[in-house]
Amino acid sequence: MGYKVVIAGATGNVGREMLNILAERQFPVDEIAVLASRRSLGTEVSFGERTLKTEDLDTFDFTGWDIALFAIGSDATKKYAPKAAAAGCVVIDNSSLYRYDPDVPLVVPEVNPEAVEGYAKKNIIANPNCSTAQMVVALKPLHDRARIKRVVVSTYQSVSGSGKEGMDELWEQTKAVYNPVSEVPPKKYTKEIAFNVIPHIDVFMEDGSTKEEWKMVAETKKIVDPAIKVTATCVRVPVFVGHSEAINIEFEDFLDEDEARDILREAPGIMVIDKREDGGYVTPKECVGDYATFISRIRQDGTIENGLNLWCVSDNLRKGAALNAVQIAETLGNRVLKKA
């Protein structure tokens, strides 16, 4: 006996990836429904070897369905998630709407799987921000060993984090560089993204940080430990898929780089590729399509008493969004629903 699963936002990048991963991981699906807005009604999407047609999200009845994976943005989620939850369907939401709600668990299964058991307060579980998800997978096993005091992270985030519009803008601007008769002014971004980097993701806040940077701070505290101090600088780079992060960690206790490397090799969801030679590290292009969070460049930081540096790379459409949502569904099934 399997689950009745709904994908809301099935025609978007993340929704399609959710379908791919459900099929790849052989999630026990008895019945599946793919939902979209009316403008995308009837669009065909793939689920394994099957082709499915989207149904209307606005009129869909969630009664009798077990799990709904939402990838429709905060505004639509605000309207439809409570309807699904009230009908008894557990919502796993990829938007930012519920991440900071104290009654909604924010879950990365390699880090805090037990948190899914708090879903019942609202019948909703939140998926973290893409940049946070990969970072906390790396932080948690190190925190368990030596207690993290402070994290300084600089991100190099791909345009797929902005959706199809961001990917299209990079593609069109890149072509325009080689065909100067055409001009593609910035629309999705504040400045040209082709052959450039933009230190601005999401809106600016009063203290000068951006909302993306604030998310990394708040979510790390909620998922791992509220005592950890985090400061972030989030940057958009001209890469189609794959987020990278340079992470500096200060611990309460000394942690040798060799021990850290061994800990990370044994940690769930992590692949360590760390050779001190040309090419002995992972770049975002190499992580595309993979489940793992890749860690490279592990080394002692001699400028502070108990410090380490590392390089963290992951496919943001997978671990940063769709994969984590499916892993939450797996964890929910194993720990709570237990239908399959």
What distance lies between CA 4 and its chain's CA centroid?
Answer: 24
Question: Which candidate in 89, 143, 243, 287 is catalytic?
Answer: 243
C-alpha–C-alpha distance, residues 222 and 76, integer Å: 24
Alpha-carbon span 38 to 54, nearest angstrom = 9
Rg, the chain, Cα only: 20
Measure the CA–CA gap between 287 and 219, rounded to whole angstroms.
23
Annotate 97-116 with b (16+ C-beta within 10 A) or e (fewer): bbbeeeebbbbbbbbbbebb
Q: Would you state the structure tokens that stand for residue 310, as one six-digit string?
A: 């590392």
d(CA 211, CA 202) in angstroms, rounded, equals 5
Would you tell me how many other CB atoms lie within 10 Å of the CB of residue 3? Answer: 22
How crowded is the C-beta side of 78, counted as CA atoms within 13 Å? Answer: 6
128 in Cβ contact with 136 (< 8 Å)? yes
287 is catalytic: no
- The per-residue DSSP string of 133-153 comes to HHHHHHHHHHHHHH-EEEEEE
Q: H/E element holding 330? A: helix 323-332
Is 130 a known active-site residue?
A: yes
* Burial (Cβ within 10 Å: 0-12, 13-18, ≥19) of residue 83: middle
> Which one is catalytic: 130, 234, 287, 312?
130
CA distances 96 to 171, 202, 216, 229, Å, are: 27, 12, 12, 21
- Residues catalogued as catalytic: 130, 243
